[in-house]
Structure 1
């Protein structure tokens, strides 16, 4: 079962920062980060549309330049909001990356940035249209994230030729796993932070878990 570090193990480190991905790398199989476009055009790694939750600044990510974002202080850590390019450079080649695409229109730039990268790379998203575009325009594995109907999620993911489904952990049961695996979909529940729950899911046969701390990975 694969251990996927949610935002670089956000339970331990300032999420989606360079220090998070560097610290997560020794214990994670893959590192999940959130990708969106900033005001100066670069792809940056940040979950929210705005910077208020994690910094003392205000404003939308798509209104701020990469330099302005890098100068911010994420959760009092001294770490700024990084570009995707800098994250790719920080992750060792033997650790994979799950790039959660937070908006449309990113695929072309993602393809350019990962060209020549040795890491395993997945593309994931809640947005069905984003996943459809990723499946059409790349050969990378795609993972559809769902937090509502498991059956509908399996149908959508299979129809889009996804490699996997990432359901909220509350949706996971033996029936979902059987249906997903029958459709050749790996299952990666999120966000699993309880060790006992993770162990039970491992016994059920999930293919990996997305966790905020490495201790949650059996």
Structure 2
């Protein structure tokens, strides 16, 4: 791993090298992907994971689902609504709308990183433009191998492939396209997977973690980070 990636993948605060990454801004505790969630998570996590997609007016917005149906009283695809319309919606009864990536970047302190999960293709150039001029450490992640490969080829940021299997082929695929890490579901992780990944210079990030006992078990297995639903799932010293 080159020095840039080594710096970006250093261990988190007070966790013996295991980073605490707030899943959607600790979605188990705060309204997911909102500015409140990001602000709260920034005080309690090493990094914040948020989901990025494009809205109907062209801006990058922070929202997990393809449609707004689950988390708002409105309906329809995010891609069919403008940024102003999305901002006027009420996310999960919080009184907050759907923020843009620019909104999120404005409230993240420079000592907290951002894991930007790309939910669709064609976002990388605009992400680079949005982040340019900030001091925030950024990773890019996705389930989409093509998106991850493009990100690894066109940016200097660490890139993580989210995987739904724990096969040798998945590890080889991630290493082959220049990833710095893989993110399997916690149920897929065992000592053998971690050893194989580390042997391929890949860090391992487990998701979604919602209890301290599981996090402590993963730390003993030398997982490099957890993507946590609540801050209480992140072990301290």
TM-score range, shorter chain: over 0.9
Matched, 1:62 2:79: yes
Match of 1:146 in 2: 163
Match of 1:179 in 2: 196
SS of 2:136's partner is coil
Are the equivalent residues in 2 in contact too, given 1:29–1:95 (CA < 8 A)?
Answer: yes
SS of 2:161's partner is strand
Match of 1:31 in 2: 48
Are the equivalent residues in 2 in contact too, given 1:150–1:167 (CA < 8 A)?
Answer: no
Match of 1:124 in 2: 141
Structure 1: which 5+ residue stretches go unaligned? none
Matched, 1:192 2:219: no
1:31-110 paired onto structure 2 within 5 Å: 31-110=48-127
Are the equivalent residues in 1 in contact too, given 2:183–2:205 (CA < 8 A)?
Answer: yes
Are the equivalent residues in 1 in contact too, given 2:62–2:101 (CA < 8 A)?
Answer: yes
Residue deviations 1:88-109 (CA, integer Å, cap 9, x gap) = 1111110000000000000010
Matched, 1:167 2:181: no
Question: TM-score scaled to structure 2, two decimals?
Answer: 0.91
| In 1: Cα distance, 2:168 partner to 2:73 partner | 41
State the number of aligned residues: 218
| In 1: Cα distance, 2:171 partner to 2:205 partner | 12
Moved over 6 A (4+): none
Question: TM-score scaled to structure 1, two decimals?
Answer: 0.99
